[in-house]
Amino acid sequence: MNFDGSDYVVRFENVGLRYGLGPEVLQDVSFALAPASYHFLIGPSGAGKSSLLRLMYLAMKPSRGLISLFGRDMARTAREDLPGLRRRIGVVFQDYRLLNHLSAFDNVALPLRVAGGRERDIQKHVEELLSWVGLGDHMNASLPTLSGGQQQRVSIARAVITKPQLLLADEPTGNVDDRIALRLMHLFEELNKLGTTIVIATHNESLVKRLGHPRLRLDGGLLLGDPQSRRGRKGKGDEMLDGSRHMEAG
């Protein structure tokens, strides 16, 4: 099946991934995500969720198959064009990947400074966002003094500060309580309303059920649709999932 890649933020077609000479950890994965869609990526531990996210944020190349981002075939994209594409993607890593020698504020401000933003604007935006994620009293704290949950929130703030076109989050609520988790989900939903495509890998079934966004389910390296998960408004990305029963790659 062929998709028109220009209509989608992310498109995978018959993608396979293996590490070294081992078995494939992803097998014949095909899906497409429309602009401003919101999906949960679910499945048991070891199903391949983190590997799928790595392919989406260009940390690795597939063993086979086609990946397109923002309408561009990644196999035909020059190496020098990749940094520009990566700047359109926000990533929340499971292991945070923050800079310990910088404060919470400076970690969040870094993407804006790299992009050449004005310091006055950076100050305003970073302060507002850190307050929103409950770290208003810890803006100048050094990273080693923060708990795991607080560092996770710094990581989330850094990922969303530039309002990326695509946001990928790997277990973003794994180290926070339910109240903070729900607040973070609302932050992602506000970003989604501004046009960002969201993909969140999570084991938090209660949040998935409560928010009701479409689900991409991985199991044993195979991707399966989950039409029962959808409620409320239905966008182009949901229609794509409805029409993609071939995603069961067995």
CA distance 221 to 161: 32
For residue 244, what pLDDT band results from cuts at 50, 70 and 90?
A: very low
pLDDT reading at 21 higher than 70: yes
For residue 227, what pLDDT band results from cuts at 50, 70 and 90?
A: very low
Q: Pick the closest to residue 142 from 110, 102, 96 (CA basis).
A: 102
CA distance 199 to 236: 15
Identify whether the C-beta of residue 5 lies closer than 8 Å to the C-beta of residue 73: yes
Token pair, residue 176, equals 């926070």
Q: Pick the closest to residue 238 from 220, 213, 217 (CA basis).
A: 213
Quote the crossing angle between the two packed helices 119-132 and 148-160, to the nearest 10°: 130
Instruction: For each of the domains in the chain, give its residue range(s) and CATH number, in order of start.
Output: 5-88+164-247 (3.40.50.300), 99-161 (no CATH)
Beta strands in the chain (DSSP E): 10-18, 24-33, 38-42, 64-69, 72-73, 89-92, 166-170, 197-201, 215-219, 222-226
For residue 6, what pLDDT band results from cuts at 50, 70 and 90?
A: low
Identify whether the C-beta of residue 58 lies closer than 8 Å to the C-beta of residue 26: no
pLDDT digit string (tens) for 157-214? 999 999 999 999 999 988 888 888 888 998 999 999 999 999 999 988 888 999 999 9
Average pLDDT, integer, range 220-245: 50
3-class secondary structure, 140: coil
pLDDT reading at 83 higher than 70: yes
Among 2-6, 91-95, 124-128, 167-171, the minimum mean pLDDT is found in: 2-6
User: How many residues are there in the chain?
Assistant: 250
For residue 225, what pLDDT band results from cuts at 50, 70 and 90?
A: low
The pLDDT score that the predictor gives to residue 245 is 32
pLDDT reading at 3 higher than 60: no
* Average per-residue pLDDT for the chain: 87
pLDDT reading at 20 higher than 80: yes
For residue 240, what pLDDT band results from cuts at 50, 70 and 90?
A: very low
Q: Pick the closest to residue 223 from 57, 4, 32, 72 (CA basis).
A: 32
Q: What H or E segment, with its residue span, contains residue 110?
A: helix 104-114
Type of residue found at 34: A
Bridge partners of 41? Answer: 201, 216
How much of the chain, in percent, has pLDDT values that exceed 90? 76
Beta strands in 87-165 (DSSP E): 89-92
Token pair, residue 166, equals 């695509």
If phi over 0 gives left and psi between -120 and 50 gives alpha, with beta otherwise, what is residue 189? alpha
